[in-house]
Structure 1
């Protein structure tokens, strides 16, 4: 059982980690908070943005500050499942030739699956087992992935050419869907100065170890949530199944994600209990990729976020 001293120590380390990440990443506070919440809640995140907004830098920086092994997969239409999971190769040994499993880039703590919707559905499915079961099966053998394990997938807006929409079963595996927007003018000035000046890339210090992240993941589950707040989260998810603007609502997995990420956000902000603001802040990210809008609602120009906002109110 963790003591109050342990909790305070880990919350202080988390605050330091956020400061370190902020040295290199300008703005994007909501997205960064969402990514950290996902790691603390032991979930996966889907990040939607146009190219060139610093997604790789952001994830690489988080990995550096938290001592997590980082790998990146660039998804393309010709990418094969074995390019992600690994493949068996023939290796010469003293006793002759034997098959050896060569691990793919999925064997890391933080895997950035860049432009996931440019890969074919078969390759997208190769990530499913890893995301849900934290393991990979290849040539009849099952291999456990390192702990902690976290997939951050990025996708281009759906209407871009050359994209394959993610199937509902896969989008449901992502705990949060985060939207990355263009920076403000003064933020863009700071970014340009930072990366075009004479100083090298800003160094960051490691603030958390892998063992501490796993300890926090356990503590997050112990954060108390009042029954009325838990019920409010469940009712919000259930409302997506009844709203006339929504054709398909969210599954119970969304209810679990909303409660767990609310606990993670409370812990990240240095609190020892969940507040209603945690549920309201995270509801759009938990639900926006889990609902399918009615045709008339889309024709009116309303987005999933607009509908979720009206459900919260």
Structure 2
């Protein structure tokens, strides 16, 4: 196998046909077909079903199984190409949910960039399920999520938890230790923070009743707090981050939601060229969590 054949196969899988794959790779269709045929000959298996008149490719059972192998092979090949520059930079790719990347971990990232010029830090924002998949395929090195999904090759551990509070505009007539029965769902800016939060939420409000609006990132909450009596529930780290707008307030909730747990994900077999960067990042992370008095470290 060689990298050109592997890239041709993966391009065909991604685009759905040889014509589109050739455009993606800036090659002729005959070249892409030739590279695919060479790959099949080297493997001794047929990867594609060739039906005349069908534009969309159809993978054989071997072809479907080979996708993940090809992705890993290409990742390892790229690792070997990076060995020459390994002594110059320590690469590390982080995948986190929005509220961590845009609020909680901002000071952490800033300190690493300032103090460690030889760290090549890549920050990626995704949803929890996407982060698990990216880590499983070793596209990222460390993941941070609010919910657990079991993967054999991923080591998951809780690293901290934090309290959840009512978030609203200062003009609202809400107050500390407010009961949920005084928070109308029609005024809610809803964000699903995780399974535990969802269960708590559904025990206090009718799941079939409509919220004012539903958002999928913590960064969007502030945009809708100007509505009369609008409210949301958020962890303290987000509230601390948006307090700079001066027109927001936060209050405790009497029948409070469960603490928000943050989980750290690391691949059981990380990229060899990234191990040093991972170790440096985790040292800074541990120090940072110890300085945050609003969160509870595990």
Fold shared by both chains (TM-score > 0.5): no
TM-score by length of 2: 0.26
The higher radius of gyration belongs to 2
